[in-house]
Chains A and B, each alone.
Chain A
Amino acid sequence: MRDFVCKKIKNLKPSGIRKLFDIVNEIPNVISLGIGEPDFDTPWHIREEGIYALQKGRTFYTSNSGLEELRNEICEYINRKYNLKYDAKNEVVVTVGGSEAIDIALRAIIDSGDEIICPEPCFVSYQPCIIMSGGVPISIPLSAENDFRLTATQLEAAITPRTKALLISYPNNPTGAIMELEDLAPLVDVIIKYDLLVITDEIYSELTYEGKHVSIASMPNMKKRTILINGFSKSYAMTGWRLGYALAPANILKYMLKIHQFGIMSAPTISQYAAITALRDGDKDIEMMREAYNQRRRYLIDAFKEMKLSCFEPYGAFYVFPNISEFGMTSEEFSEKLLKEENVAVVPGAAFGECGDKYVRISYACSIDELREAIKRLSRFVEKLRCK
């Protein structure tokens, strides 16, 4: 029989998380700091709205771009946050998570061979999605010395005549880095100078602990060359509802919608109803969760200081990204050893790009009790390694 599978997919590197996942599942009493989703349940009033939608029999497709009421709420929210106006009719599509929004954004813009600049470490699906769309990912390795922020010089050095777009995500998974207004401004100059598009995945925007999140779409002259992606997974603890959205100028969104229309039809209807309530009444939930994450963030940073583990201070998302290079191991070796010897799961930084190999990602989407115990085990582990 022939091999039916497409070469492009075959050659795609498997996710660096997979292997560890298989080991973790075999070990009892593991404390997992490897979870990239909130530990909170979806707030009850949002779940209640989903239940109500089900009871009412709202179980049909919605329009391709999503419920009008939801699109209105999304535009209202974005306006409230960034003073940015989008047209709910032509500039929004409700998607199956931020994940789908990333995919259709890339597919809508990439011609075969187009280069997409993608600073690393970054979310695991960016590069595969670029490759699957026929594009060429060009990575820029970021470092803790720059607080994992992208500089204009780095960006300019990566641009070639084939460069079409820049794909960024702040607050960042896995580093927890943010970009402030002063960091974005010089980037914008380069972006405009080279006539690039920006895809900005701002799924962690609400989890910003110092100052307020700034969207690059709100910078002067940027809205028309930006695809802004956000969603409900992180801010409202709604990962399983599979709901996100993209905002873009009508002349781009039209084509994203085409892909969405043929590939997906419409995002889950019940989730869309619940999301309306989330946007309308969810601010206090976000605030409560943000405060809790922030407390844990401080707790971890302090613990790393005491352990003398080198770690830059993250201001966003729910990850810390300590440097483990002093131990002379790859991030995968370190993670596996830590798991086997101390039953603590973390994600090797290499899963987020080659330059991540000096680091591991630690998620603080878990209780202080778990963090306390995990820190105890981690410091024991670190001491042991240092004594060798």
Chain B
Amino acid sequence: MNIKDRNKILALLEKDAKLTTKEISVMLAIGEDDVKKEIKSMEDEHLICGYHAFINWDKAEDDKISALIELKVTPQRGMGYDSIAKKIYEYPEVESLYLMSAGDYDFTVILKKATMREIANFVTTKLAVIEEVRSTSTHIVMTKYKEFGVSLADGKKDKRMAITP
């Protein structure tokens, strides 16, 4: 399949993973078997890495918060950043981990939502003690306005009149 069609399938799935292969095939005018085959191969390549529900946890009424941590590290000779990264991302508490290109820190760590106490505990007893970590700076998310391209603030209400010419 050409890259353009492949990317169209991905764009649709990224927005709505519940679309059936039949629906995708109809919407893009690509044969259903081709769609199935392509999705399967993208899953095998780990290009599609999963299908998740997109949840606005702020509505789930827990007292948990989201935190983002900037980490400064000292890379090891011959190992680069990858081995340090592994020591961090293997923790289930870590939701996302990015190595950053410039600035005065190296990694951005995003934690799964947790209580303030749990976060403090994780940072001090797990992250800060990793040998290569020189410093941590923890930021608490106060309000999430937009995530995965969806605005969380605006709601879904249709502002149009019910029938117009």
Contacts and interface: CB of A to CB of B under 8 A. Distances in A.
Chain A complexes with chain B: yes
Interface of A: 15, 17, 20-21, 24-25, 30, 32, 34-37, 39, 123-125, 173, 295-296, 298-299, 302, 345, 347, 351, 368-369, 372
Contacts of B23: 299, 368, 372
B141 interface: no
A30 B158 CA distance: 12
A32 B162 contact: yes
B150 interface: no
Interface of B: 12, 16, 19, 23, 26-29, 158, 160-165
A162 B16 CA distance: 56
Which interface residue of B19, B27, B29, B165 has the most chain A CB atoms within 10 A? Answer: B165
Most buried by A among B12, B23, B29: B23
B137 to A, nearest CB: 32
Given A21-B163, A123-B165, A298-B29, 10 more contacts: A21-B161, A24-B163, A32-B162, A34-B163, A35-B160, A35-B162, A35-B164, A36-B165, A345-B162, A368-B27
Contacts of A296: 27
Contact of B28 (A295, A368, A369): A295
Contacts of A368: 16, 19, 23, 27
Contacts of A295: 12, 27-28
A299 B27 contact: yes
A24 B26 contact: no
20 contacts: A17-B164, A24-B162, A24-B163, A30-B162, A32-B158, A32-B162, A34-B163, A35-B161, A35-B163, A39-B158, A125-B165, A295-B28, A296-B27, A298-B29, A299-B23, A302-B26, A347-B163, A368-B16, A368-B27, A372-B23
A173 B160 CA distance: 18
